[in-house]
């Protein structure tokens, strides 16, 4: 059967078509299209502009998918659309469009949980064979930072969550303090760090000691929530302090204009390392609190969501699990950030293993907990 995937939870309009020709082989991608919104002049996402963007682009993109230039018109058999969490206006464009198509074609539609889709992404490429339940996921995106233990398709436990902003948000804001103003600052910050590291390897810049870093060249950085006498350890993440460290550090050095290109690169490296070290530190602690028999059953670890495409983070995770038998799964970067393909795959899993689909009265759901996917919202049909 043919599956149409629609993702409009944030500011990218993304659609795709899959051919689920056999249940024993990975679904075959027919085509996928994305229209990205350029946010650069607004320093972030403006909800009404994102809404307009989806209204302008969704129908033309789907029309292009369904009417290939040299082929017959395609009519999907299943529609998978992001229902939440995300921006309500943006979500409603996709959800209402899916309802219309489902009604007109007489085919089922499924309102998909966006974070479940990020989490299941590596299974899309393996036809659900890896990772196998139970597995752990680090979901790191613009809006979420969670360590999740998934026991089955619908049973997820949040082991650690952020108490303030998400990791991607902290990266984007820190990068902005360093003068980056891209649509997505994470990859740009990663590039700055790589430039510095290459310059050290090439001998253009010398490697700095810790003291030189905080003193002459870099800024003062401190990991939050480190163990301290009298402080209770907590299984949570916290990222807001990193942004203030950059603001304060750059201010102390006389502002951004007073910094050389190399100094900016050094600070970029300091802050990126610190953010990732904090995540590793808190994952290590959180896992140490789990019962031994639970840990023994977990063989797979997924790192997904936009920040999950960062190569430094991936290496730190590999190092963390170096002495264990854990299989690590890193989806390709184009599947880490928001995309319709993960939505289509998640709909396929929900449909095939649970027989689930959605009623026509479902609402876009801005807040929807991953540890209560069925109970948190209504409108499920079997």
| Residues lying near ligand ATP in the complex (CB under 6 A) | 9-10, 86, 114, 141-144, 168, 171-172, 184-187, 190, 305-307, 309-310, 337-338
**Helices 261-288 and 240-252, packing angle to 10 deg:** 150
Of ligand ATP, Fe ion, none, which one does residue 168 interact with (CB within 5 to 8 Å by kind)? ligand ATP
Among the residue ranges 27-35, 126-134, 330-338, 359-367, the one whose residues contact Fe ion (CB under 5 A): 330-338
Smallest separation (angstroms) from ligand ATP to the CB of 68: 28
Question: How many C-alpha atoms does 10 have within 13 Å on its Cβ side?
Answer: 21
Strand (E) or helix (H) holding 5: strand 2-7
Of Fe ion, ligand ATP, none, which one does residue 270 interact with (CB within 5 to 8 Å by kind)? none
Smallest separation (angstroms) from Fe ion to the CB of 122: 15
Nearer to Fe ion, 175 or 343 (CB): 343
Nearer to ligand ATP, 315 or 324 (CB): 315
Among the residue ranges 43-51, 69-77, 247-255, 331-339, the one whose residues contact Fe ion (CB under 5 A): 331-339
Of Fe ion, ligand ATP, none, which one does residue 300 interact with (CB within 5 to 8 Å by kind)? none
Question: How many C-alpha atoms does 205 have within 13 Å on its Cβ side?
Answer: 19
Applying CB under 5 A, among 177, 190, 338, 349 the residue interacting with Fe ion is 338
Nearer to ligand ATP, 339 or 358 (CB): 339
Question: Which residues, in sequence order, are bridge partners of residue 32?
Answer: 16
Q: What's the count of helices (H) and strands (E) in the chain, helices before strands?
A: 12, 13
Nearer to Fe ion, 101 or 342 (CB): 342
**Residues with Cβ < 8 Å from 237, sequence gap 6 or more?**
145, 160, 161, 162, 163, 167, 278, 279, 282
* Nearest of 162, 169, 172, 253 to residue 213 by alpha carbon: 253
Of ligand ATP, Fe ion, none, which one does residue 7 interact with (CB within 5 to 8 Å by kind)? none
Applying CB under 5 A, among 90, 92, 102, 141 the residue interacting with Fe ion is 141
Instruction: Look at the block and give the residue holding tokens 């043919």.
Output: 2
Nearer to Fe ion, 10 or 245 (CB): 10
Contact criterion met (CB below 8 Å) for 147 and 124: no
Strand (E) or helix (H) holding 18: strand 13-19
Nearer to ligand ATP, 62 or 91 (CB): 91
Among the residue ranges 56-64, 137-145, 326-334, 355-363, the one whose residues contact Fe ion (CB under 5 A): 137-145
Gap between the Cα atoms of 98 and 101, Å rounded: 5
Strand (E) or helix (H) holding 136: strand 135-140
Three-class secondary structure of residue 3 per DSSP: strand
Gap between the Cα atoms of 382 and 369, Å rounded: 21
Smallest separation (angstroms) from ligand ATP to the CB of 24: 30
Smallest separation (angstroms) from ligand ATP to the CB of 371: 15
Nearer to ligand ATP, 153 or 335 (CB): 335
Smallest separation (angstroms) from ligand ATP to the CB of 307: 4
Return the residue nearest ligand ATP (CB atom).
Answer: 306
Q: Does 346 bind Fe ion (CB under 5 A)?
A: no
Nearer to ligand ATP, 159 or 171 (CB): 171
Question: Which residues, in sequence order, are bridge partners of residue 300?
Answer: 135, 327
Residue 3's alpha-carbon distances to 102, 173, 190, in angstroms, are 12, 37, 35
Nearer to ligand ATP, 102 or 237 (CB): 237
- Backbone conformation region of residue 368, classed left if phi is above 0, alpha if psi is from -120 to 50, else beta: beta
Among the residue ranges 32-40, 150-158, 280-288, 338-346, the one whose residues contact Fe ion (CB under 5 A): 338-346
- Interface contacts to Fe ion, rule CB under 5 A: 141, 338
């Amino acid at each position: 059967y043919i599956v149409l995937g629609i993702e409009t939870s944030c500011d990218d309009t993304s659609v795709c078509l899959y051919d689920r020709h056999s249940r024993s082989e990975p679904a075959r991608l027919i085509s996928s299209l994305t229209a990205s919104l350029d946010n650069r002049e607004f320093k972030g996402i403006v909800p009404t502009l994102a809404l307009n963007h989806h209204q302008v682009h969704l129908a033309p993109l789907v029309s292009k998918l369904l009417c290939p230039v040299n082929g017959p018109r395609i009519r999907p058999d299943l529609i998978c659309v992001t229902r939440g969490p995300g921006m309500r206006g943006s979500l409603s464009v996709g959800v209402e469009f899916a309802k219309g198509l489902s009604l007109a074609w007489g085919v089922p539609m499924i309102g998909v949980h966006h974070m479940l889709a990020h989490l299941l992404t590596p299974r899309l490429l393996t036809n659900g064979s890896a990772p196998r339940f139970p597995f752990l996921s680090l979901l790191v995106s613009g809006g979420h930072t969670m360590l999740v233990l998934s026991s089955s398709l619908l049973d997820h436990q949040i082991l650690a969550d952020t108490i303030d902003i998400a990791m991607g948000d902290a990266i984007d804001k820190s990068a902005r303090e360093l003068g980056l103003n891209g649509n997505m600052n994470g990859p740009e910050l990663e590039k700055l760090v790589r430039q510095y590291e290459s310059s050290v390897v090439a001998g253009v810049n010398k490697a700095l000691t810790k003291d030189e870093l905080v003193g002459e060249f870099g800024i003062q950085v401190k990991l939050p929530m480190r163990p301290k006498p009298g402080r209770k350890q907590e299984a949570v993440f916290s990222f807001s302090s990193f942004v203030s460290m950059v603001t304060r550090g750059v201010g102390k050095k006389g502002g951004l204009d007073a910094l050389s290109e190399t100094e900016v690169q050094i600070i970029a490296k300091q802050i990126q390392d610190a953010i990732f070290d904090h995540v590793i530190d808190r994952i290590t602690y959180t896992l140490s609190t789990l019962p031994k028999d639970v840990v023994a059953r977990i063989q797979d670890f997924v790192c997904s969501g936009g920040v999950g495409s960062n190569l430094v983070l991936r290496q730190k995770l590999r190092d963390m699990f170096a002495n264990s038998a854990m299989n690590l799964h890193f989806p390709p970067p184009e599947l880490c950030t928001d995309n319709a393909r993960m939505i289509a795959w998640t709909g396929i899993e929900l449909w095939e293993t649970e027989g689930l689909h959605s009623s026509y009265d479902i609402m876009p759901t801005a807040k929807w907990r991953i540890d209560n996917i069925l109970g948190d919202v209504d409108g499920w049909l079997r």
